[in-house]
Amino acid sequence: MDKTTFDFKEIQGREDRLAPGYRLCAGCGATIAVRNVLKALHPGDHAVVGNATGCLEVSSYTYPYTAYEDSYIHTAFENAGATLSGVETAYRVLRKKGKVGADYKFITFGGDGGTYDIGLQSLSGAMERGHDMVYVCYDNGAYMNTGIQRSSATPEFADTTTTPVGKVSTGKPQSRKDLAAVMAAHHIPYVGQTTFIGRISTQRPSGRSIRKGRRF
């Protein structure tokens, strides 16, 4: 099968790379996203998983326990993009010198607060430099881990603890930041958005750019 073909049914049958026992809420969308992204790796590949602070990080990696079958690095919000781009660069150098043989893939997960707001400069730098890595933002619409504060991904009029709907406010006054468009403006090989509830949209997903770009 062509390496870039995505066979959802076949991928569902693969071994989970996120072990059970993590502490995310039952049914949490972050878990669904992470499990499916990691399953899309080729079974023989190794991954280095980066993860900005947030619900996913505090619930899947509580030192000395980890739910990840792959290598895992917890980073601060501000440097999630920089951390994995540094690791990816070191890997390329070591590989050139013949010091590592295996195929490694570099994947960073961040929430919407960590991605749209606090880690945006670091993500932008990593994308602009063209590192061979994948950044996945799981967007649950707010800073959930600290009590549902609004982020720039929160939709307009949403009721959050910092934009409460009531007599004096109709919820968040600003509209949602279009981060996919911002990422596409970096002219990287692939930018996509999806959701679990039917509506799927993608940007710049041409077959040529995917093949040229970062492959799982």
Ligand X SMILES: Cc1ncc(C[n+]2csc(CCOP(=O)(O)OP(=O)(O)O)c2C)c(N)n1
Q: What's phi and psi for 147, nearest 5 deg? A: 115, 30
Under rule CB under 5 A, which residues in 49-88 are in contact with Mg ion? none
Give the binding site for ligand X (CB under 6 A).
Answer: 53-56, 77, 111-114, 118, 140, 143-146, 151
Cα separation, 15 vs 84, whole angstroms: 24
The number of beta carbons lying within 10 Å of the beta carbon of residue 99 is: 9
Query: Going residue by residue from 82 to 111, which x/- string records binding to Mg ion, judged by CB under 5 A?
Result: -----------------------------x
Cα separation, 125 vs 103, whole angstroms: 24
Q: Which two tokens stand for residue 171?
A: 């919820």
Least spacing, CB of residue 65 vs ligand SF4, in Å: 16
Angle, vertex CA 191, rays to CA 34 and CA 42, nearest 5:
45
Q: Are 144 and 114 in contact (CB under 8 A)?
A: no
Q: Which of 116, 110, 161, 105 is nearest to 138 (CA)?
A: 110
Query: What residues contact 33, with CB distance under 8 A and at least 6 apart?
Result: 109, 136, 138
- What residue is closest to ligand X based on CB? 111
Among ligand SF4, ligand X, Mg ion, none, residue 28 binds (CB under 5-8 Å by kind):
ligand SF4
Please report whether residue 33 would count as binding ligand SF4 according to CB under 6 A: no
Under rule CB under 5 A, which residues in 107-146 are in contact with Mg ion? 111-112, 140, 144
The b-or-e profile of 45-72 (16+ CB within 10 A means b, else e) is: eebbbbbbbbbbbebbbeeeebbbebeb
Least spacing, CB of residue 56 vs ligand SF4, in Å: 7
Please report whether residue 28 would count as binding ligand SF4 according to CB under 6 A: yes
Among Mg ion, ligand SF4, ligand X, none, residue 114 binds (CB under 5-8 Å by kind):
ligand X
| Region from 1-9, 22-30, 44-52, 172-180 binding ligand SF4, contact rule CB under 6 A | 22-30
Please report whether residue 59 would count as binding ligand SF4 according to CB under 6 A: yes
Least spacing, CB of residue 51 vs Mg ion, in Å: 13
**Binding residues vs ligand SF4 (CB under 6 A):** 24-25, 28, 30, 55, 59, 140, 144-145
